[in-house]
Copies of this chain bind each other. A is one copy, B any other.
């Protein structure tokens, strides 16, 4: 066979099984999304269309990979949790990591126009990914608590920051300076006293991120198959927000 004498190069492809019986988290992250969001005019501090697109892509990934039982998204990142006993692709590291990252990316581009009907996609966005292995449930819970705490901290900061800029007339440098050294309480006060914003009634998707749980029971399983879900506030099927108290 023509290729036989070259086939030895295959021996350089090394096995990369992930430890059995551990929780796997695949986190994808937007690559260069500062520029991407500027180019495409994302609203600040949050762009509902962009978040819904992320959720849409994540839902596609969950539908394609039944081993994913939970996903959490915020800003331009999404974390997917595969259950302990998952044997997807024989738990090969690269295969799991790239399949999920690629599927997410593909769905993001594919669904772009549904969420940004009036905004042309200027160039192909990309995401990097990583797998993190957690031996027990406690660590996985803390992982998601960590991501959600991050959501809260970032969003409170960004909400106050952009209120100072958009409505308070500060430059971005002035807004940074104004917020330096402030704690949560101070930011709540600025929002409320200066702008009349009650932070706690802002959309939960901004404050707490998005949680996608594999739906187990539903009275309308057909709806699940069709991928319908409710709005951020309404009676959604697949997408849920978790409760979080910082």
Contacts and interface: CB of A to CB of B under 8 A. Distances in A.
A86 interface: no
A146 interface: yes
Interface residues of A, number: 63
Contacts of A238: none
Interface in A113-160: 121, 123-136, 139, 142-143, 145-146, 149-150, 152-153
A80 to B, nearest CB: 13
Interface stretch (A16-24, A163-171, A193-201, A210-218): A16-24
Q: Indicate the member of A8, A9, A99 with the most B CB atoms within 10 Å.
A: A9
A128 B94 contact: yes
A105 interface: yes
Interface in A17-38: 17, 19-22, 28, 31
Contacts of A46: none
A106 B126 contact: yes
